[in-house]
Structures are given as C-alpha cells and as structure tokens.
A and B are shown apart, each in its own frame.
With several copies, the nearest count.
Chain A
Amino acid sequence: MTTMTFGRAINTGLRKAMENDPRVVIIGEDIGALGGVFRITDELQKDFGAHRVIDAPLAESAILGTAVGMAYRGYRPVCEIQFDGFIYPAFDQIVSQVAKLHYRTRGRVRMPLTIRVPFGGGIGAAEHHSESPEAYFTHTSGLRVVAVSNPQDACTVIQQAIASDDPVLYFEPKRRYHTKGDVDENALEDALPMDRARVEVPGTDVTLVTYGALVQTAREAARAAEDDGVSVEVIDLRSLSPLDYSTVEASVRKTGRLVVTHEAARTGGLGAEIAASLTERCFYYLEHAPVRITGMDIPYPPAKMERHHLPDLDRILDGVDRVLGRPNSLTGLED
C-alpha cells in the first residue's frame, strides 16, 4: 500500500501495464517530455522510450486511426485525449472503426485500445475543457466504457482496460487528480472485474447511483443524509457500459427508491438509461419514480457559472428528499 494521488495512481497503472506487456504503447499530445498536461504520463517516455510513449502530431482522428492500425498488428495502444472536448475530431474513428472492427471482421481483428479521457468540470476551465461526453459512447455498441472514482480503482482499472481485448473508453475525473488515497499496486489479481459496480456506502432507504467525480460528493451526501436519519446506499457504477444492473437492481429492490446523478446533460444522459432500465426491472418495487440530478441541458457554461450546472451536495440531497416524498424544492409543483 502506498499513498498517492489519483493522477499518480493512473501513472502507476500505466507503468505496470507497459512493464508487463511490450505491446502496450501510449500515444497522445504532449505526453512525452511534458508528461501530459496533467502529468499522467510523467517520466514514462524517459523510461520506455519514444517508440512506446509517442508524442503525436496535433490531430485526434489520426491518434485514434493510427492506433487502430497498430492494433491490427497486435499492439495494445493507449490513446490519450487531452481533454474531453477534444475527443470529437476522433469520433468517426471511434464510432465507425474502433467500435465496429471486431464485428466487421467477424472476430478476426481485435481492437484492444484504451482511450483515456480526462472528463468533467469543476476546475474553472475554459470552454471544451469540462465536458462529460460519456453517453455518446455508452450508446455506441462495440465499446466498453468505464469511469474511475478513486486512486485504487484508477490504478487497477487502467490495467484491466488495457488487458481487455475490447476497446475501452476510460474516463478520468480530472477534478479528482489531486485526491490522495491508498493504492495497492499489486491488487490486480483479486480486483473486482472492470464491468462490476461497487456498493460504496451501504444503506437501506435510497439507492444513489453515480460515477466519476460525483462518487465523492455522493458519499458526502450519504453522510449528511445519515445525520438526517436517512440511510443512503451509494453505488459507484465504475462500468458505464455494460451497466452492472444486477448490483443496482439488488439495491433498488431493497430501497425502492433510486436517485441517479451525473454531470452530463440530463436529456439522453446515462441517468435516462439507468432510470428506464431500473423501472423495467423493478417496477413493482419502486415507491417513487427514479430521480435524476444532472447537469443542465446547456453547453458547458463559463467557469463562474459552473456551480449552478454541476450537481453538488445540496442538489443531491434535494433529490433524495424528492424520491422520499419529503418536502423539497419542487414540492407543490406538479412534476
């Protein structure tokens, strides 16, 4: 066990994956001498060489497209997208190539790519630097999507993602990069599989589902609710595609109440899928319609407005009140 930051934990996971398999290469912008704008690849080029930690020219479609070509030849490329909002130039390669090649070739060609995406807001950044594009990818068949919430998972899940023969989008909550935690670097073997959710805080009254940066906020909400006599079960999804319905379903059958929270816009966000699926699976157990606490249906706003956009402790607690039928901000409004 070592105490390290979230960012260092990813770095450690990358390093282990590179040590274990010479076919792992990293490609991205500014990942070499600089070590990435967030220093996630710090020292890796120095230690593994410029052929395995590849500073790419400034073109995201090419980063993904050349990684596809490397995968054809048996490599396991890890692509770094510098910020969430810069993934769109690569969208075509991800959706039409990375996601479909295994299917297209009837399983002959594997696409064991990992696509690292620092995502989410709360860092006071400029436009395109705070987005939550995960729902575009969870709607894309052929991809796996994960989001990590703590240093230990960051370290193990990146290794699992790289080891996966399917392409994996690995979302990193950038505002937690400096959070510290204990990390067992050798936890890989008995680690929870990448596609399983984890009950973070057990509880009995309300199921609170989230992922990424908001897991920490959800924990805080559970603590605050507890003071108020409400027992909230917090689930960290970890895998956004496939969703681990069995874990969530077991919880909702117990609590009868579901709150989902994410930073992405509400319309068509992951919350919609989770609410719809859990309603299908647990309709007769539900005491209240699932409640979604999400980002607004707006382009990511300027830094000084983001606190109104992002779900926070109070908004989540308001959602908990809502799903419990307690007085809340919408009381009296037909909802």
Chain B
Amino acid sequence: MSLPGTDPTGPLNDESYIQLLAPDGTRITSAEFDPWLEDIDGDRLAGLYEDMVVVRRLDQEATALQRQGELALWPPLLGQEAAQIGSGRALRKDDFVFSSYRENGVAYCRGVDLTDMIRVWRGNRPSGWDPYEINMATPQVIIGAQTLHATGYAMAAKFDGDDAVAVAYFGDGATSQGDVNEAMVFAASFQAPVLFFCQNNQWAISEPVGLQAQGKLSDRAPGFGIPSYRVDGNDVLACLAVTRKALDHARIGGGPSFIEAVTYRMGPHTTADDPTRYRDANELEDWKRRDPIDRLAALLSAEGLLDEALRQRVQQAADDAAAEMRAGCINMAEPGDLELFENVYTAPHPVLARQRQHYERYLDSFEAAEWGH
C-alpha cells in the first residue's frame, strides 16, 4: 500500500506558484499582478519589512515568555511572516477576518493591542480582543470551523449591499475538514464575497501536507466553482498582490476566491511540540534559504533602501513592541474568582445564578473559617 505523505516528488517540492520576489531578492515582473503593487514605493516596502521584522520579534518574545512560564502556550508563526503580512496589509479596515490560532501577524496588521494578543495564551481570558474593534474574530481552535463563519459573514455583507469582504485563514491540514469544503459549497452557491486564504505551511502538527492532499491544495477550489491562486507564501509582494486582486474580485461582486500560500512552519506546531520527532532537520535548512524576511531585505538592499537609519528604526520598533508585549503580559491582572460565571448568557439565567451564589457562599466559608481560627 502506498503511504500518503511520503512521496518526495509530491506537492512539497512543487514550485509552480506566483512569485514576484525571488529568494535572492530579485524582483520578478508580472503583467497580471504588478498593477496591484503600483503604490508600493520604497516607503511601503520598508513598511512591509518593518511589519515582518516586528511580528517575528513578537513571535520570538511570546515564545520566550512561554519558556519562562509566563504564557501557557504559544503557536509560533515563524516563517509565515510574508503570508500573513502580505495578505493582512491588503485588507481594508471594514473587511472582517476569521482566523485560526496562528495568525498573530494578521492580527498585528489589524491593529491588535499587544497585550490583547496574548491574554488567551496566558490563560487569563477565553480570548484576547474585541472582534469588532479590529474586525477580526478571536482565534478559532476547532480546525476549519471559522471558514463557515467567514462565508456567513460574507453572505450577510452581501445582504447589506456592503462591499466588505470576509477573509478566512486556515492551514493545509484544515482543508481535509468537512466544514472547509462545505464553506466552499456555500460560498460558491451564494457567490459570497469571501476569500479563503490557506497557509500551506507543509505540516499539520506531525502530518505532512501530502497526507491531506494528493495534488495541490489550490486545485480543490476550482472544482467548487471558485477561482484559485497558488502563491509563494514567503514572498510578501506576491501575497499582497494576489490578495488585493482576490479582494477586489469579491468587492465588485465576483464572489469567492481561494489562495494557497505555500510557506513553511519553521518552528514547532506550538511550544508544546517537538518537531524533531517527525521531521528532518534538512527540510528546515532548505526553507531557511527561502526566508521571507531575508528576501525582502535583499530587495531593499539592492535598491539601496536598507540603510542604517531604517535598520535602527525597524530594530527599535521591534524592541518596543516586544517590550510592550512583555510588560503587558507580566502586569496582566489576574481574573477575579467569580469571573468564570460571566458572559455565559446575555440575560438572567436562574440556574447558573444559583450555582454562582452557592459558589460564592462556598468561597466565603473559607474566609469565615480563616477568621474563625
């Protein structure tokens, strides 16, 4: 029997994707996609660079916080900066994002407060931020579930005659879930303005993408009647351009699109994971040569833009962000004893109210006992 996921000629090594910036920093021109980058001047390029450096730094800081016992868990995005910043920066403020747990780079683009970013990972809150403040739902842990939410949101935007787009972020593993496929069915049937943005980071915990799919992930969507793109996910310019194009398509009534961003999870699945158990170190070395930040740095250098001032500014921004996150983490207020009873319902609920009252009495009984001693 053939074992899935073990074929070295499989999708892992297939590089037929849209690339506008080669690993060595060479800019590749494209008649189709360059128009979507017309406004990307030197400043904007530097901005994208800064974004990527900052989110990598934040990611490292969060990993460090976890190692130091300040966070319970952290799902690193290391290696996926271009996919997240490229797509994240393509979004309009009133677009709405439904993501998984790994899209902290996207949340950064949405303007998330850096303390909010880690509340849930410290175990203090069921989730970090107010979805309506940054138009991004809080991390979805159930693999694939959010793709349906995005589709429904997009249907509703269309009911409203609004041209906002809903964007669903999910991984290569998620494509196997029924929900993701149902989302494509609904999106196609209702021509919903939704963008399915799949970060194929080659792994779903220990499972290689070749176990989930026999061909390219981007081949799936056309069968549902959804236009699809396969893009170099480590190329921030390609991610930006293709996302812009797909968003525009949705905005003008063209319906859903699917983007497969081919990238690599350079770190562990989460801080609880040990990838040495299931993957070859050489693979990581290969992907390091395609590092998303290095190649933008190379382009900036080549264009003479990566001067000391920029380096320092970016370094400073990253350090500041990391410091802000660390301070926010360490100074985060502990939840109150009865907070767990809050926000289960919007309106009074006598059964739960009674449980809460009993538990309050129970907690009080200790205090009484202590006073009694």
Contacts and interface: CB of A to CB of B under 8 A. Distances in A.
Answer yes or no: A and B touching, Cβ < 8 Å: yes
Interface of A: 25, 29-30, 32-35, 37, 50-51, 55-59, 61-62, 64-75, 77, 85-86, 88-89, 92-93, 96-97, 100, 102-110, 124-129, 141-142, 144, 164-166, 195, 241-246, 266-267, 296-299, 301-305, 308-309, 314-315, 318, 328-330, 333
Q: Decide if the interface of chain A is mainly helix, strand, loop or mixed.
A: loop
Q: Which 3 residue pairs of A and B lie closest in terms of their CB atoms, listed nearest first?
A: A69-B152, A65-B148, A303-B123
Contacts of A103: 126, 343-344
Contacts of A34: 205-206, 277-278
Contacts of A141: 344, 352
Contacts of B150: 69
A109 B185 contact: no
Interface centre among A195, A267, A298, A330 (most CB of B within 10 A): A298
Interface of B: 1, 3-5, 72-73, 96, 98, 101, 120-127, 130-132, 137-138, 141-143, 145, 147-157, 159-160, 166, 173-174, 176-179, 182-183, 185-186, 189, 204-207, 211-212, 272-273, 277-278, 334-335, 337-347, 349-352, 355-356, 358-359, 361-362, 364-366
Contacts of A242: 349-352
A243 B157 CA distance: 37
A57 B212 contact: yes
A108 B132 contact: yes
20 contacts: A35-B277, A37-B205, A57-B4, A62-B178, A69-B154, A69-B156, A72-B153, A73-B160, A75-B156, A86-B143, A97-B145, A107-B342, A109-B137, A126-B123, A127-B141, A296-B359, A297-B344, A298-B340, A298-B344, A305-B339
A65 B151 CA distance: 8
Contact of A57 (B185, B278, B349): B185
Given A125-B72, A298-B341, 6 more contacts: A29-B204, A30-B205, A65-B147, A68-B152, A72-B131, A110-B346
Contacts of B178: 59, 61-62, 89
B152 A66 contact: yes
B123 to A, nearest CB: 3
A181 B141 CA distance: 34
A242 B347 CA distance: 12
Nearest to A75: B156
A308 B359 contact: yes
Contact of B365 (A51, A69, A93, A329): A329
A37 B204 CA distance: 12
Interface centre among A129, A142, A305, A308 (most CB of B within 10 A): A305
Given A58-B174, A59-B177, A73 B206 contact: no
Contacts of A62: 148, 151, 176, 178-179, 182-183, 185-186
A58 B100 CA distance: 15
Contacts of B98: 69
